[in-house]
Structure 1
Amino acid sequence: MFQNPKMWELLQKLNNNKICSKVIKSSKRRNLWELPRFITNIE
């Protein structure tokens, strides 16, 4: 799915966080390109 393994690792971690996983699920439907920005804001 993601080319970047680090990114995928981060996603897996965020998936354990209920709020984040909701955001991730909705962004999968909408726009995956926004996801990196979202993740950067969390860090």
Structure 2
Amino acid sequence: MKEKVGVCIDCGNTVFCLAGFLNGVVLKEGRLRCFDCDREAEKKDESR
């Protein structure tokens, strides 16, 4: 089953729940980020 959960705060892509698993990351503020944008954000944090 595929259900729309929301949109990524960075790129605007739709984040889905696929068979009970969130296809993204919920941030502290309760906002969503897709996996691709979350990886990019982690890379930026590591390079600081």
Q: TM-score range by the shorter chain?
A: 0.3 to 0.5
Larger fraction in strand: 2
- Normalising by structure 2, what TM-score? 0.31
Larger fraction in helix: 1
- Normalising by structure 1, what TM-score? 0.34
